[in-house]
């Protein structure tokens, strides 16, 4: 065997015994320099050759410097919406759930739609911080903090709805297993109780995860404030009539929050393990939470609600809606804040656009499966829900057995959902669209609307017509319904703006860790 | 273990107790190699400070694996067990009631809450265990008085060898830190 | 465990010092003897497996004809075995496309195994032939799919409703389409990867990534409908929207296990030294853990929603499997497919020790076969669990042995890693830091 096998030839090339030549092709479509298609080149995660200090200055600057002129007007509007929402909630609690458009037929409508909408949005935060962490997707470091913050705020908005929809809110404690004089205990066989445990666990664990990630960054803010104080003890005051200096307040508050973190390797070791474990446990948690939310519907026998694909389908939809919200928040933010484009590059946006495309298809896959099974099962009620409650628009109405026109009264909601969730993300097959912040923003906006409609379609169209035509009715929202939802948008935005103003919006220590100069083997 | 038998207390001329000697390094690579040399020199009571966890530093320092995962696993499973017990108590002992014609003892409806409570315990144990293992919160530390040390939270890298180490000697340790490339070597007072 | 981490620590320690340029370090490990298999021994092993598998299949056929009613049981067991093979190959196709989509650098080292096994998908079509023959010329009493027996479905309202989907011609066409699509994807990916070995054209990686995007869409739809046609259709009254995902979860898990098994075997034979390292096994172990949990999640949700709603037309599936001895198999599946491997895989030491991990992988592969058996076999109501058990074992073992033998043969006939993958140096440098 004197002939060299081609495999051995190439192996020899790799061993260095046979020379190799590999021409470098430069991708001219590289945008800001991160949209590299070349598989041999890894796109930089931070642009413009930033140093560690640049990252510290940039990220701490968002907290330490006064925000731009846009901040107060936006904050004012968000606050106003939040105030309206709060007023609506108070009005509801005083008057009763009759102020909403609910009726005998449709007992769940905007309240639970909004609940599922918000809790779904929360899932992207955990996905980015936990699942992408486990998958070692380093690009997550640029957006994980904001996404985690968004998770908490979305869960706050979500939790509001089930709490206020119970009607007599002063009995809300009954959802917890608390010993009481009547010896009444909650029903652990009810999906609604699982929801209580799932959502409260989710809120708690997300908050722990978020807080833990911020500890080193709090320490950075603390140390900077101390250094400023050492240099100049007469900095600006918090308010003219208070004898408190901003730096002093920062040093104390961030100091308290940082728990005395001092960046020790012995600490980092436990910290990283704990972080990984939180990521590991958050991943099944995030799956379980939206699965349990889907159980609210899927454990019933209602056509349109009861189907086995609901748990993973809800999870995919949650990630889909959540990523859209992250994009809706971060695309304007990176325009408004200085140097944020160095941290959130076009590559990051492209990756998120791809995730929108994938999760959008997963949702589309579930829609298709539901439709196929509605037919394949041979269950007439199931087929009816899909065709005559959701699908058929009036202009395609069919004449029923009783001579009346049959069409789906909520066809517009169904088709809005299909258009927004399945059709619009398809533009991301084209590179031009998925690398353009403008188009990503537009699609993310559609997706957010579509995901709200998805929950509306699932809840209202399935409920509004029960098995007997005598139980048919329609749902229309009242102004209280609409303003309460607008109010939660206000609460969400208010909290997010406060987060951008006062907390480290980026995980500095994690970003520094994925920069090339962080490698201990770099010379 | 060896470093525990001798406890020489060093004092500065001003009479303050010495905590240790700290040296600054410019890059993670310098820090990494210096740490390896400090490890090989046989120091035990020392630590490396960096703005982010430098990959592989535990090995460079020769630290053993942390026991935190084991603890967290045990606590998590205990939590899940307690969750199951709670549901058993409520559904079977405190308030037995047939609901939806489902069997009293079915495990199926108990799964979600059992899981959630297990997760809750795990998460708390991971965070609080991290604090406990790290002896945090500790809002005072001698190093925090050093202005140079405060820059670690930005972009500096520091090694500090503590005076309680058996091999610690103010002059020799300083010389050793200098020889491994440390800059701005300072004495740290308690 | 401590010994292992200690030796490992010294290895990485040395690397950190001596190599400024990672690519040079990478190349010195890719000696021909490390990345190409000695064709002799492993081929003998694979030939042996295929030979034994063929004998087992012959015995199965003889047994199938030996007794009244045994034919249907034989084809059912064989069907489970066939789906086991397809599941592994299909999972390998899915997993490599997913890894391409994630731009995963570490995966370059274990990916070739997945490519090789997935490229057997056209051969899996041959394994389908007995099922096809049974559908076409089997007598009414031996036909595996009851809906293919006209006398059985006469007057069945549900069948009449589904006739547009459930008719033999369309069923064959669909099966052909599935194999066609999968073969196209798998062969393209394999060819490009092998072409890259010779030409070093790194844009082939970009091409593979691009094809994986729509490839995954094709994969998701086709594998879901294949699972409807080949598994769910066994009881044509029953339906579950989740079923495609269930099949996907099991297939990908079994694919990862097969890859681990093959790589552990190769490293046991002294190959791939410091190419596929404990770091890679660690990550594949994590994937095994993840998919064990994912499978359990999907399996639980499907069972749970049907149990809770308690609608007769759906509970039929689980009713059948919770009666008689099948109940014990259900419990065994919960313990063996989820609880035990889950607890074992939680340990870091298990994931980082190739031999231990290979043991868990082998166990999970067997459990995956049991899972398929659990779906297929109870529909043969004329034979209880344990009756003519030898046929059940042979039915699964026959095609599985032939297939795994082919898989080994395919893997060792090419370089064991994609030699010129542009990310190979990343894969070789790969380390789990936390």
Q: Is A236 helix (H, G, I), strand (E, B) or coil?
A: coil
- Average confidence (pLDDT) per 10 residues, chain C, 434 residues: 33 37 53 77 89 95 87 94 97 95 85 95 95 92 92 92 94 97 96 90 90 95 96 94 95 96 91 87 94 96 95 93 92 96 93 95 97 94 85 95 94 89 83 75
Mean pLDDT of chain A: 89
Answer with the residue of higher pLDDT: C18 or B45: B45
| DSSP character at residue A264 | B
Give the sign of the dihedral formed by CA C325, CA C331, CA C336, CA C340: negative
Closest CA to C182 of C94, C80, C79, C78: C94
pLDDT digit string, tens, across residues A144-164: 999 999 999 999 999 999 999
What is the predicted pLDDT for the residue at B10? 86
pLDDT digit string, tens, across residues A93-147: 999 999 999 998 999 999 999 999 999 999 888 877 888 888 888 888 999 999 9
pLDDT digit string, tens, across residues A18-77: 554 444 444 545 577 788 777 877 888 888 888 999 999 999 999 999 888 999 999 999
pLDDT digit string, tens, across residues A62-71: 999 988 899 9
What is the predicted pLDDT for the residue at A7? 52
* Interval A431-439 mean pLDDT: 93
List residues bridging with B49 in a β-sheet: A264, B158
What is the predicted pLDDT for the residue at C4? 32
What is the predicted pLDDT for the residue at A14? 56
- The nearest alpha carbon in chain C to B108 belongs to C304
Q: Which residues of C61-89 are buried (b: 16+ CB within 10 A; e: fewer)?
A: bebbeeeeebbbbbbbbbbbbbbbbbbbb
Residues 6+ positions from C246 with CB-CB distance below 8 Å: C227, C240, C295, C298, C299, C302
What is the predicted pLDDT for the residue at C35? 81
Contacts 24+ apart (CB under 8 A), A291-295: A291/A315, A291/C297, A291/C301, A292/A191, A292/A194, A292/A195, A292/A198, A292/B112, A292/B116, A293/A116, A293/A119, A293/A195, A293/A198, A293/A199, A295/A191, A295/A194, A295/B112, A295/C304, A295/C305, A295/C308
- A365 to C220: CB separation less than 8 angstroms, yes or no: yes
Q: Give the residue from A29, A308, A380 with the most C CB atoms within 10 Å of its CB, the best one to mutate.
A: A308
Separation between Cα atoms, residue A417 and residue A419, nearest integer Å: 5
Answer with the residue of higher pLDDT: B72 or B100: B72
- C348 to B59: CB separation less than 8 angstroms, yes or no: no
Distance from CA of C226 to the nearest CA of A (A): 13
Partner residue opposite C304 with nearest CB, options B53, B59, B108: B108
What is the predicted pLDDT for the residue at A1? 34
Least confident of A169-173, A349-353, C4-8: C4-8
Residue B30 forms contact with C (CB below 8 Å): no
- C431 to B55: CB separation less than 8 angstroms, yes or no: yes
Distance from CA of B139 to the nearest CA of A (A): 4
Partner residue opposite B108 with nearest CB, options C13, C16, C307: C307
pLDDT digit string, tens, across residues B55-90: 989 989 999 988 999 999 999 999 999 999 999 999
Partner residue opposite C308 with nearest CB, options B32, B69, B108: B108
Q: What is the ipTM of this complex?
A: 0.94
What is the predicted pLDDT for the residue at C105? 84
pLDDT > 90: percent of chain A: 71
pLDDT digit string, tens, across residues A368-426: 999 999 999 999 999 999 999 999 999 998 888 888 888 999 999 999 999 999 999 99
* Chain B positions in Cβ-Cβ contact with residue A227 (cut-off 8 Å): 147, 150-151
What is the predicted pLDDT for the residue at A8? 55
Q: What are phi and psi of C122, to 5 degrees?
A: -60, -35
* Chain C positions in Cβ-Cβ contact with residue A311 (cut-off 8 Å): 242, 297, 301, 305
What is the predicted pLDDT for the residue at C89? 97
Query: What is the band of A522 on the pLDDT scale with cuts at 50, 70, 90?
Result: low
pLDDT digit string, tens, across residues B167-183: 998 899 999 999 999 99
């Amino acid at each position: 065997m004197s002939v060299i096998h081609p495999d051995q030839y190439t192996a020899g090339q790799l061993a260095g015994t046979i020379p190799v030549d590999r021409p470098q092709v430069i991708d001219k479509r590289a945008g800001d320099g991160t949209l590299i298609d070349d598989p041999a080149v890894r796109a930089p995660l931070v642009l413009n050759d930033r140093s560690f200090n640049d990252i510290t200055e940039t990220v701490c600057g968002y907290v330490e410097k006064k925000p731009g002129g846009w901040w107060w007007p936006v904050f004012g509007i968000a606050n106003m919406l939040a105030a309206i929402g709060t007023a609506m909630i108070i009005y509801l609690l005083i008057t009763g759930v009759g102020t909403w458009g609910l009726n005998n037929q449709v007992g769940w409508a905007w309240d639970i739609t909004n609940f599922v909408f918000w809790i779904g949005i929360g899932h992207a935060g955990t996905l980015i911080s936990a699942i992408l962490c486990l998958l070692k997707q380093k690009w997550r470091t640029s957006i994980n903090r904001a996404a985690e913050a968004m998770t908490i705020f979305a869960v706050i908005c979500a939790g509001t709805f089930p709490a206020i929809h119970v009607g007599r809110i002063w009995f809300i404690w009954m959802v917890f297993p608390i010993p009481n004089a009547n010896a009444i205990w909650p029903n652990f066989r009810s999906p609604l109780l699982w929801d209580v445990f799932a959502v409260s666990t989710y809120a708690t664990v997300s908050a722990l995860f978020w807080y833990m990630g911020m500890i080193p960054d709090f320490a950075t803010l603390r140390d900077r404030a101390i250094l400023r104080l050492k240099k100049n003890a007469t900095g600006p005051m918090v308010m003219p009539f208070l004898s408190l200096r901003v730096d002093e307040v920062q040093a104390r508050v961030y100091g308290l929050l940082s728990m005395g973190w001092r960046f020790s390797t012995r600490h980092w070791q436990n910290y990283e393990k704990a972080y990984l474990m939180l990521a590991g446990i958050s991943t099944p948690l995030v799956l379980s939470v939206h699965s349990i939310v889907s159980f609210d519907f899927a454990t019933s026998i209602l056509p349109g609600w009861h189907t086995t694909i609901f748990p993973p389908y809800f999870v995919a939809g949650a990630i889909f809606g959540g990523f859209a919200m992250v994009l809706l928040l971060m695309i304007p933010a990176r325009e408004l804040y200085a140097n944020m484009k160095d941290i959130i590059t076009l590559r990051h946006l492209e990756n998120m656009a791809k995730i929108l495309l994938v999760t959008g298809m997963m949702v589309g896959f579930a829609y298709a499966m539901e439709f196929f099974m509605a037919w394949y099962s041979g269950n007439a009620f199931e087929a009816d829900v899909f065709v005559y409650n959701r699908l058929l628009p009036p202009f395609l109405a069919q004449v029923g057995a009783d001579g009346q026109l049959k069409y789906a009264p909520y066809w517009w909601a169904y088709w809005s959902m299909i258009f927004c969730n399945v059709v619009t993300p398809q533009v991301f097959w084209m590179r031009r669209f998925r690398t353009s912040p403008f188009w990503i923003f537009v699609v993310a906006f559609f997706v957010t609307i579509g995901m709200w409609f998805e929950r509306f379609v699932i809840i209202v169209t399935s409920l509004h017509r029960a098995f007997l035509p005598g139980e048919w009715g329609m749902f229309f929202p009242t102004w209280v319904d609409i303003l309460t939802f607008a109010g939660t948008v206000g609460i969400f935005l208010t909290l997010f703006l406060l987060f951008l103003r006062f907390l480290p919006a980026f995980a500095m220590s994690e970003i520094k860790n994925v920069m090339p100069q962080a490698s201990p083997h770099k010379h | 273990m060896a470093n525990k038998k001798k406890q020489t207390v060093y004092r500065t001329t001003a009479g303050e107790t010495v905590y240790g000697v700290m040296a600054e390094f410019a890059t993670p690579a310098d820090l990494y190699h210096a740490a390896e040399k400090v490890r090989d020199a046989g120091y035990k009571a020392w630590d490396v400070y960096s703005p982010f966890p430098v990959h592989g530093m535990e090995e460079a320092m020769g630290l053993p694996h942390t026991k935190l995962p084991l603890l967290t696993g045990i606590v998590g499973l205990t939590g899940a067990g307690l969750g199951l017990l709670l549901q058993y108590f409520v559904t079977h002992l405190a308030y037995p009631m047939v609901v939806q014609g489902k069997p009293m003892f079915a495990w199926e409806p108990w799964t979600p809450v059992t899981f959630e409570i297990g997760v809750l315990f795990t998460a708390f144990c991971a965070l609080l265990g991290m604090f406990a293992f790290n002896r945090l919160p500790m809002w005072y530390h001698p190093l925090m008085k050093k202005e140079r040390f405060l820059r670690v939270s930005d972009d500096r890298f520091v090694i500090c060898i503590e005076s309680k180490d058996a091999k610690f000697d103010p002059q020799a340790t300083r010389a050793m830190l200098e020889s491994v490339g440390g800059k701005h070597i300072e004495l740290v007072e308690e | 465990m401590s010994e292992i981490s200690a030796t490992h620590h010294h290895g990485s320690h040395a690397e950190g010092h001596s190599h400024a340029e990672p690519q040079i370090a990478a190349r010195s490990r890719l000696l021909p003897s490390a990345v190409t298999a000695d064709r002799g021994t492993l081929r003998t092993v694979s030939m042996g497996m295929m030979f034994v598998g063929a004998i087992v299949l012959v015995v199965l056929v003889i047994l199938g004809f030996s007794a009244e009613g045994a034919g249907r049981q034989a084809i059912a067991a064989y069907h489970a075995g066939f789906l086991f093979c397809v599941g592994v190959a299909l999972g390998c196709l899915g997993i490599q496309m997913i890894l391409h989509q994630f731009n995963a650098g570490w995966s370059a080292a274990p990916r070739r195994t997945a490519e090789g096994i997935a490229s057997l998908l056209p051969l899996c079509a041959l394994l389908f032939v007995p099922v096809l023959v049974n559908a076409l010329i089997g007598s009414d009493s031996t036909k595996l799919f009851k809906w293919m027996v006209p006398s059985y479905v006469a007057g069945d309202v549900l069948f009449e409703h589904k006739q547009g989907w459930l008719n033999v011609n369309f069923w064959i066409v669909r099966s052909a389409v599935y194999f066609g699509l999968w073969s196209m994807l798998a062969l393209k990916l394999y060819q490009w990867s092998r072409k890259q070995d010779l030409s070093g054209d790194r844009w082939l990686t970009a091409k593979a990534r691009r094809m994986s995007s729509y490839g995954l869409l094709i994969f998701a739809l086709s594998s879901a409908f294949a699972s409807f046609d080949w598994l769910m259709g066994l009881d044509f009254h029953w339906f579950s929207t989740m079923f495609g995902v269930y099949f996907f979860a099991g297939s990908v898990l079994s694919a990862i296990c097969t890859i681990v098994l093959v790589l552990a075997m190769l490293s046991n034979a002294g190959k791939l030294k410091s190419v596929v390292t404990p770091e890679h096994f660690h990550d594949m172990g994590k994937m095994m853990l993840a998919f064990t949990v994912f499978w359990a999640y999907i399996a639980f949700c499907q069972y749970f929603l049907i149990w809770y709603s308690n609608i007769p037309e759906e509970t039929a599936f689980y009713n059948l499997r919770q009666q008689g001895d099948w109940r014990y198999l259900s419990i065994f599946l919960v313990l063996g497919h989820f609880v035990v491997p889950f607890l074992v895989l939680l340990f870091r030491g298990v994931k980082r020790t190739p031999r231990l991990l290979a043991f868990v992988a082998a166990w999970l592969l067997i459990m995956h076969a049991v899972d398929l058996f659990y779906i297929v076999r109870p529909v043969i109501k004329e034979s209880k669990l344990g009756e003519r058990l030898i046929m059940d074992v042979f039915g699964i073992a026959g095609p599985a042995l032939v297939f795994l033998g082919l898989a080994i043969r395919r893997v060792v006939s090419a370089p064991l890693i994609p030699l010129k993958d542009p990310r190979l140096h990343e894969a070789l440098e790969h380390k789990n830091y936390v």
